[in-house]
Amino acid sequence: MTARLVGDGVENPANARALLDAAAMFAIPCLFRDSRGLAQRWSAEPLATVDTAELMLTPLVAVDNAPGATSVFASTLPKGRPSIVVGNERRGARPDVLRAATACVEIPMPGRGVNTLNVASAAAVAMYYLLQTPRGRRAHARRRPEVLLVGPGDHVEAGSVLRSAAAFGWRTVGIDDRDKVWFGTPRPMRTEARAAARSHRNPLRVVPTAGSPGFARAVVAGTHVAGPPLHRVDLTGRDTVVVIPDGHDENWHDLAPRVEYAWVDLPVADFPYRYRLVASIVLAEVTRQLGPPATGRPPRKRLTYDSAFAMTAPADVDLVLPEELGAY
């Protein structure tokens, strides 16, 4: 055992289940310091917990954008059997964890609206870099690619991926919504999906796309893709689209004249698959390869969108009331 994942003060049982699945992707245990009533809402198998005294006996790595945090892209785990700690969905890591932490790491997110990931997505990204330390080459072009989500099968997973895309700096994302989890869904499903995407403060534009998007180069990235490891593939560049399928296998050569593949390499072959976790790792790796944003450029006077995606049909306009988001 090299480490363990600890959810500290997590409230939502759905997020707790996703954290368990994230830890299983890396073959490490997941425990919870339950300070906000998670056990009372938990209806699955017994909840594995850790108390404060036991938690503080291990080296702590807090995943939080606290002052002085270092980039997860350049961080390593301390020696011993450290606990990788992710905090409460709204409040982040608790002060005692930040004070006792051997290291505090943050996930660089250049987004202009949403600036946090879903807690399980953040855990998956952190573990990918802390446990495996992929330090592959950075791209020379440093041009942000477009992103195309293909066939997401669950509305909440799709919303969480869109939240990640906005946090990592995308303003437009294409979606091949063949399973109709984003456009044209019933109101309760639509409300849940928009809440997962944090649409109330998310400037992301979601473009319905099907067939060939018309790019010169496509990079298909996923856990079941036969190709080089993700961090060894150049994911950036002009006229490039990064395609993230939700378990679909098809003739990707219809997407672009040039198709490459990138394997999201994980230490285990059989794990509970979640689209949000895999897609967030892919988006994080694109961000790592792009490097920090250039400085010295004049600020934009207004928000603009620039995308090579063309809509295949008029976009649905969804009215989501603030009270619906607040009740989710």
Q: What is the radius of gyration, based on Cα positions, of the chain?
A: 19
Per-residue model confidence (pLDDT) at position 320: 45
CATH 3.40.1280.10 correct for 4-106 = yes
Beta strands in the chain (DSSP E): 4-8, 30-33, 60-63, 70-71, 83-86, 103-106, 146-150, 172-176, 205-208, 217-222, 240-245, 258-263
Alpha-carbon span 238 to 228, nearest angstrom: 21
Average pLDDT over residues 137-150: 80
Per-residue model confidence (pLDDT) at position 305: 39
**Are both 4-106 and 146-290 of the same fold?**
yes
| Sequence spans of domains, the chain | 4-106, 146-290
Residues present in the chain in total: 328
Alpha-carbon span 314 to 8, nearest angstrom: 43
Report which of residues 313 and 72 the model is more confident about: 72
Average pLDDT over residues 31-59: 91
For the cut 60, the answer to whether the pLDDT of residue 299 exceeds it is no
217 forms beta bridges with 240, 258
Distances (CA, A) of 43 to 13, 88, 130: 9, 20, 31
Give the tens place of pLDDT for each residue, 155-168: 999 999 999 999 99
pTM of the model: 0.89
State percent of the chain over pLDDT 70: 85
Which positions ≥6 away from 200 have C-beta within 8 Å? 194, 320, 322, 325
Give the tens place of pLDDT for each residue, 226-257: 999 999 999 999 899 999 999 877 888 888 99
Cα-flanking dihedrals φ and ψ of residue 252, to 5°? -70, -15
CA–centroid distance for 20 within its chain: 15
Alpha-carbon span 161 to 178, nearest angstrom: 16
Average pLDDT over residues 284-311: 63
Alpha-carbon span 213 to 218, nearest angstrom: 10
Cα-flanking dihedrals φ and ψ of residue 83, to 5°? -105, 120
Query: Average pLDDT, whole number, for the chain?
Result: 87
Alpha-carbon span 324 to 314, nearest angstrom: 25
What CATH superfamily classification does 146-290 receive? SPOUT methyltransferase, trefoil knot domain (3.40.1280.10)
Residue whose pair of structure tokens reads 């905090």 in the numeric block: 87
Alpha-carbon span 55 to 46, nearest angstrom: 19
